[in-house]
């Protein structure tokens, strides 16, 4: 029986249950928080307590697992996540990788094959360590890989990161979630790159595909075997909920429910809005929170003709298949 690593250790894939495949707990710039937020709009204890409360509420709605692809670039900090995981029944699955739209961090610019320090690709070394040994000294192992191919496309930095992710996937078996821009339809670039590296496209989630209502684009991606991340429910400024529902219903009707996963790409706190966070959320994205799918989206999908079996595929079967790679 395959197991999947979570913040509290391995669980059987059959025990993942209903899973939201792309949620953050925090999305932060550590330097922003430390220099401009600490003691002002950032209250560590208050934020931890708030996250525990929000995740407990989500668990009470019947969701058993969230996948949190918060990596370097989004403020991954495992000790804080461990404190939270200890106090909620929800499984939290975490990732290795980099959140970068264009430029490689300087920390990888001088090390690597053919560079000043001619060593094996250090990103592969670091990602593999996260997966095989654990993140830092936390003991928590990453269970998936994350990178971005956004509107800027395959810049030299993005290309190198994505290839390091693909090669780590080939060496470890860990599946991939790639952030994409549906406006730029950059999912195609990601698929082509992963294919050129020999990656198993059935182990790739094209995150944020659900921002698109272009069925031709979405079917083209899914026809490669990749899974569509319909994972920004509540971010109505990118695509309103009724349109997202219509698109999923159309795809399910054409036989694609086995290649769709659901989520909000929400968080308990994101520092993009600084002290204006609560006002920004209330004003422009009132539905951008963890329980919009349970409360509103699933009823709307049923109403529009998506069957219970198809919902089960999107919430349970597809996540289980995605994480069925560690047979130990």
Q: Give the distance from CA 115 to its chain's centroid.
A: 31
Q: Considering CB under 5 A, how many residues would be counted as binding Zn ion?
A: 1
CB of 69 to Zn ion, least distance (A): 6
Contacts of 292 (CB under 8 A, 6+ apart): 233, 234, 241, 264, 266
Is 231 a binding residue for Zn ion by CB under 5 A? The answer is: no
Q: In terms of CB distance, is 252 or 260 closer to Zn ion?
A: 260
Q: In terms of CB distance, is 235 or 300 closer to Zn ion?
A: 235
Q: In terms of CB distance, is 265 or 271 closer to Zn ion?
A: 265
Q: How many CA atoms lie within 13 A of 57 on its CB side?
A: 14
CB of 27 to Zn ion, least distance (A): 7
Exposed, middle or buried by CB within 10 Å (0-12, 13-18, 19+), for 274?
Answer: middle
Site string for Zn ion, 260-299 (x = CB under 5 A): -----x----------------------------------
**Which residues pair with residue 15 across a beta bridge?**
none
User: What are the strands, taking DSSP E only, across the chain?
Assistant: 3-6, 9-12, 19-20, 26-27, 65-68, 91-97, 144-149, 176-180, 204-207, 227-230, 260-262, 269-270
Among positions 247-266, residues that touch Zn ion (CB under 5 A) are 265
Size of the chain in residues: 328
Q: In terms of CB distance, is 287 or 310 closer to Zn ion?
A: 287
In the chain the first and final C-alpha atoms are separated, in Å, by 8
Encoding tokens for residue 271? 């520092």
- Distance separating alpha carbons of residues 207 and 265, to the nearest angstrom: 9
Q: In terms of CB distance, is 3 or 70 closer to Zn ion?
A: 70
Q: In terms of CB distance, is 70 or 168 closer to Zn ion?
A: 70
**Which residues pair with residue 9 across a beta bridge?**
6
CB of 187 to Zn ion, least distance (A): 15
CB of 59 to Zn ion, least distance (A): 20
Q: In terms of CB distance, is 235 or 252 closer to Zn ion?
A: 235
Residue nearest to Zn ion (CB): 265
Q: In terms of CB distance, is 71 or 306 closer to Zn ion?
A: 71
CB of 111 to Zn ion, least distance (A): 27
Is the Cα dihedral 204, 169, 98, 159 positive or negative? negative
Q: In terms of CB distance, is 74 or 199 closer to Zn ion?
A: 74
- Distance separating alpha carbons of residues 28 and 54, to the nearest angstrom: 18
CB of 119 to Zn ion, least distance (A): 30
- Distance separating alpha carbons of residues 228 and 250, to the nearest angstrom: 13
CB of 166 to Zn ion, least distance (A): 19
Instruction: Identify the CA nearest to 253 among candidates 220, 219, 230, 229.
Output: 219
CB of 305 to Zn ion, least distance (A): 29
CB of 31 to Zn ion, least distance (A): 20
Give the three-state DSSP class for 183.
coil
Given a contact cutoff of 8 angstroms between Cβ atoms, the answer to whether 195 and 202 are in contact is no
Instruction: Identify the CA nearest to 71 among candidates 20, 132, 135, 16.
Output: 135
The CA-based angle 195-101-144, given to 5 degrees, is 55
Residues that bind Zn ion (CB under 5 A): 265
């Amino acid at each position: 029986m395959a197991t999947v690593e979570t913040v509290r250790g391995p669980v059987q894939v059959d025990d993942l249950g209903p899973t939201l495949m792309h949620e953050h707990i925090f999305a932060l710039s550590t330097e922003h928080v430390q220099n401009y937020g600490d003691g002002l709009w950032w209250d560590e204890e208050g934020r931890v307590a708030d996250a525990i409360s929000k995740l407990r509420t989500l668990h009470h709605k019947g969701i058993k697992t969230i996948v949190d692809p918060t990596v370097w670039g989004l403020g991954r900090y495992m000790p804080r996540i461990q404190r939270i995981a200890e106090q909620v029944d929800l499984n939290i699955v975490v990732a290795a990788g980099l959140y970068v739209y264009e430029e490689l961090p300087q920390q990888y610019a001088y090390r690597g094959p053919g560079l000043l320090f001619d060593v094996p690709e250090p990103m592969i070394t670091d990602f593999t360590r996260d997966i095989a040994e654990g993140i830092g000294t936390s003991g928590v192992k990453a269970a998936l890989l994350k990178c971005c191919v956004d509107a800027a496309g395959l810049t030299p930095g993005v290309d190198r990161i994505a290839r390091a992710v693909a090669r780590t996937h080939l060496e470890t078996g860990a599946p991939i979630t790639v952030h994409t821009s549906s406006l730029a339809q950059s999912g195609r670039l990601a698929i082509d790159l992963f294919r050129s590296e020999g990656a198993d496209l059935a182990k790739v989630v094209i995150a944020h595909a659900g921002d698109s209502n272009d069925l031709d684009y979405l079917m083209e991606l899914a026809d490669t075997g990749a899974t569509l991340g319909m994972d920004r429910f509540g971010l109505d400024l990118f695509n309103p909920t009724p349109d997202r529902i219509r698109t999923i219903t159309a795809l399910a009707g054409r036989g694609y429910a086995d290649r769709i996963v659901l989520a909000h790409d929400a968080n308990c706190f994101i520092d993009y809005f600084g002290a204006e966070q609560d006002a920004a959320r209330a004003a422009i994205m009132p539905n951008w929170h963890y329980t919009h799918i349970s409360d509103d989206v699933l009823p709307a999908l049923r109403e529009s003709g998506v069957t219970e079996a198809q919902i089960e595929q999107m919430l349970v079967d597809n996540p289980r298949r995605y994480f069925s790679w560690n047979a130990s």
